[in-house]
Amino acid sequence: MSNSSVQFASGEFVPLEMHKVRVVQKLNLLPVEERVKSIEGAGCNTFLLQNKDVFLDMLTDSGTNAMSDQQVAAMSVADDAYAGSASYEKLYNTIVDILGTEYFLPVHQGRAAEHIISQAFVTKDGVVPMNFHFTTTKAHIEYAGGSIDELFTDEALKIKSNHPFKGNMDIDKLKAKIATVGKENVPYVRMEAGTNLIGGQPFSIANMREVREVCDTNDLLIVLDISLIAENIYFIKTREEEFKDADIKTIIRAMCDLADVIYFSGRKVSCTRGGGIATKSKEHYLRMRDMVPLFEGFLTYGGMSVREIEAMAVGLQEILDMNMISQSPQFIKYLVDDLDAAGIPVVTPAGGLGAHLDAKQFLPHVPQLEYSAGALAVALYIISGIRGMERGTISMDRDADGNDVASEVELLRLAMPRRVFTLSQVKYVADRVKWLYKNRDLVGGLEFYDEPKVLRFFVGRLKPNS
């Protein structure tokens, strides 16, 4: 428990919002028979569910966070100008203040930043080492002609672990990889804060310092994805001895000073829309700059709404508040610890993104090639109205021969949007997961009946195979 959180006299751990609710939005909990129809209509794919049929939407934390009243207010005073908007000035100054970078390029979303960075830096057949991939990151590096290599530690993918920094890069693997492919074939090394696809797991500043050292030795750039920096910082402050008394900005700067190019999706870090690329290097800036007007929008809005720009400036300032950034990790911890204590196979320790159920252990009777994580997502929706996201075999592509490939991990992710759900709702999630675990024999496998060649994950349709 962090030093920011309020201790209960009872000794019980209760995650506590340090804010009050100002505006709410009604949720629908359909009767179970209607939920069955909805998920059938969605081809057993939670991406295809209509949100009005969902009770608790835990598909993702991207673009689904609650705003602060200060953010809402800022949207009302946005300066609507194509060029030279005062709103952009506010955002720019915030970036400089928090990240310590002189140059900034606004873009409409995280993947747009990845598009531009990849086009600017990735060389044909270049290899980009990283602590872990993110779907759009991989896609853009490959689109630019390169490939990725994930150099995570042995601890990273273990379901049960108590490692404080599962997002660390394996330094030995990094050295070996550079030696193997040649540093000239490494456009840059990528670090992702709050590593998304292994569950919002953090890396330590100590680890990133080692990465920096290796990169300096080899004259390599570091590109840092800070979309989940708030949660990574929270874990550094609560787990890395050196920083336990440091203020948030100091830790952010410690991390960002180690990178050459920094980018983010505002859908996560600032509870808004949009994104951006920041750097201290004029050279890097100029290498990317002209793509912003081509793909995004003029340099002072980058395809974002000025309203979102205003809210982003406020939202970025808010991550300097330990009370704000503690909220989500503490609620996740509550859920994960509760499930873990009940014997549910859930990834530990709790990260900064949500709870991740291990479908292989949860549904041992369902083969991976019958999409056990997908089946778990369907079952949980039916019995609860909760929407999670499959992170397993369905998310993989078939191999060159058209065969399905079992994923290394077979997870159901239950993401926790920031400030949206309450303890009551988290307890509801735990209650339903526990019920489902007890009744897991009811759950069978799935098979595709409409499987597109690409993006089957997003738009494919399945049905029960029995």
Q: Give, as ranges, the residues between 411 and 440 that touch a second copy (CB under 8 A).
A: 419-425, 427-428, 431-432, 434-435
The reply on whether position 147 binds a second copy by CB under 8 A is no
Coil/strand/helix, residue 166: coil
Question: In degrees rounded to 5, what are phi and psi of residue 354?
Answer: 165, -170
**In this complex, which beta carbon is closest to a second copy, that of residue 112 or of residue 380?**
112
**In this complex, which beta carbon is closest to a second copy, that of residue 68 or of residue 204?**
68
Amino acid occupying residue 366: V
Shortest distance (Å) from residue 112 CB to a second copy: 7
- Catalytic residue list contains 391: yes
The reply on whether position 47 binds a second copy by CB under 8 A is yes
Amino acid occupying residue 340: D
Q: In DSSP terms, which residues pair with 462 in a beta bridge?
A: 448
Please, is 309 exposed, middle or buried when counting C-beta atoms within 10 Å of its C-beta (0-12, 13-18, 19+)? buried
The reply on whether position 279 binds a second copy by CB under 8 A is no
Q: Which two tokens stand for residue 94?
A: 């915030």
**In this complex, which beta carbon is closest to a second copy, that of residue 202 or of residue 329?**
329
Coil/strand/helix, residue 308: helix
The reply on whether position 320 binds a second copy by CB under 8 A is no
The reply on whether position 273 binds a second copy by CB under 8 A is yes
- Catalytic residue list contains 457: yes
Contact residue for a second copy among 2, 36, 79, 320 (CB under 8 A): 79
Which residue stretch of 12-20, 150-158, 167-175, 236-244 sits at the interface with a second copy (rule: CB under 8 A)?
12-20
Q: Which of 273, 252, 247, 272 is nearest to 262 (CA)?
A: 252
Per annotation, catalytic residue among 360, 391, 419, 456: 391
The reply on whether position 456 binds a second copy by CB under 8 A is no
Contact residue for a second copy among 39, 44, 66, 130 (CB under 8 A): 66
Angle between helices 110-121 and 135-143 (to 10 degrees): 30
Please tell me the distance from the alpha carbon of residue 118 to that of residue 221, in angstroms, as a whole number. Answer: 13
The reply on whether position 108 binds a second copy by CB under 8 A is yes
**In this complex, which beta carbon is closest to a second copy, that of residue 9 or of residue 400?**
9
Q: Which of 141, 132, 117, 314 is nearest to 232 (CA)?
A: 132
Contact residue for a second copy among 1, 30, 36, 139 (CB under 8 A): 139
Shortest distance (Å) from residue 362 CB to a second copy: 17
| Chain length of the chain | 466
Question: In degrees rounded to 5, what are phi and psi of residue 128?
Answer: -110, 105
- Catalytic residue list contains 298: no
Q: Give, as ranges, the residues between 341 and 380 that touch a second copy (CB under 8 A).
A: none
**In this complex, which beta carbon is closest to a second copy, that of residue 203 or of residue 334?**
334
**In this complex, which beta carbon is closest to a second copy, that of residue 51 or of residue 250?**
51
- Catalytic residue list contains 331: no
Number of residues that bind a second copy (CB under 8 A): 104
Q: Are 116 and 294 in contact (CB under 8 A)?
A: no
Q: Which residue has the tokens 């990790």?
A: 329
- Catalytic residue list contains 188: no
* C-beta neighbour count of 416 within 10 angstroms: 32
Q: Give, as ranges, the residues between 216 and 255 that touch a second copy (CB under 8 A).
A: none
Q: Are 337 and 160 in contact (CB under 8 A)?
A: no
Q: Give, as ranges, the residues between 297 and 316 that touch a second copy (CB under 8 A).
A: 297-299, 301, 303-308
Coil/strand/helix, residue 53: helix
Burial profile 379-392: b = 16 or more Cβ within 10 angstroms, e = fewer:
bbbbbbbbbbbbbb
**Which contiguous run of DSSP H or E holds residue 99?**
helix 86-99
- Catalytic residue list contains 134: yes
User: How many Å from the N-terminal Cα to the C-terminal Cα in the chain?
Assistant: 45
- Catalytic residue list contains 82: yes
The reply on whether position 31 binds a second copy by CB under 8 A is no
The reply on whether position 203 binds a second copy by CB under 8 A is no
Please tell me the distance from the alpha carbon of residue 329 to that of residue 419, in angstroms, as a whole number. Answer: 11
Shortest distance (Å) from residue 6 CB to a second copy: 7
Shortest distance (Å) from residue 415 CB to a second copy: 9
**In this complex, which beta carbon is closest to a second copy, that of residue 66 or of residue 252?**
66
The reply on whether position 277 binds a second copy by CB under 8 A is no
Active site residues: 82, 134-135, 225, 268, 391, 457
